[in-house]
Amino acid sequence: MLSFLLLCFMLNSNNLITQNENVIIDCNYTFEEAISNLDFPDVTKYDLKLVTVLYYSFDDKIHQGQLVIHKNLVKDVIKIFSLIKEKKFKISKVVPIVFYNWSDEKSMLGNNTSAFNYRFIAGTKRLSNHATGRAIDINPFLNPQVFKDRTYPSTAKYNPKKEGTITADLFLVKEFKKIGWAWGGEWESSKDYQHFEKLK
Ligand SMILES: [Zn+2]
């Protein structure tokens, strides 16, 4: 009886926590909606999953967003995002790029975190690792791709002192690397601070 009462208490308190969180819904797509209006191979589609994530945004409130990601990376992403929430590392928003009509640039200008997009690497004819859902860009406007002579997007500036910025000593980079992801901030040719990928 005592354990039953205890269980009721625990269930109730869990419910209370959920209600008090006042989650702000940044998006609520179905899988089909999240991959709509885009021409890409069926074989890629079968490998994708829509994942719901929670995070603190810059208004200090908990938000709910969604990521379209390769099915083999779902576990990793859930793990990383639960840590992001626990550490209260600010994520602006996480909305599938269909919202930006599949424009990587518009998504970056919106500082939007995303994964799948069937697109080429900017300025090339090579498919990006985002095209298989095996790469994530986090807070891209705060963490642009920095070349020797320019930044992409061009209006963004990388300032490691700003909240939401990704640096080598951040828990996020360490945790991602621990589970086999690479960070674009360590690339030689350009520093893609927003970018994490796991190809196998
Ligand atoms: Zn990327």
How many whole angstroms from 16 Cα to the centroid of ligand 1? Answer: 38
- Give the DSSP H/E element, type plus range, for residue 43: helix 42-45
Taking only the tens place, the pLDDT of each residue in 171-195 is 999 999 999 999 999 999 899 999 9
Total-model pTM: 0.88
How many whole angstroms from 23 Cα to the centroid of ligand 1? Answer: 27
Q: Are 155 and 110 in contact (CB under 8 A)?
A: no
- Alpha-carbon Rg for the chain, nearest whole angstrom, is 18
Peptide bond into 153 cis (omega under 30): yes
Taking only the tens place, the pLDDT of each residue in 142-164 is 999 999 999 999 999 999 999 99
Running DSSP on this structure, what letter comes out for residue 121? P
Q: Residue 13: is its pLDDT beyond 70?
A: no
pLDDT at residue 16, as a whole number: 41
- Give the DSSP H/E element, type plus range, for residue 52: strand 48-56
Distance (Å, rounded) from C-alpha 162 to C-alpha 151?
A: 17
Distance (Å, rounded) from C-alpha 154 to C-alpha 194?
A: 14
How many whole angstroms from 5 Cα to the centroid of ligand 1? Answer: 49
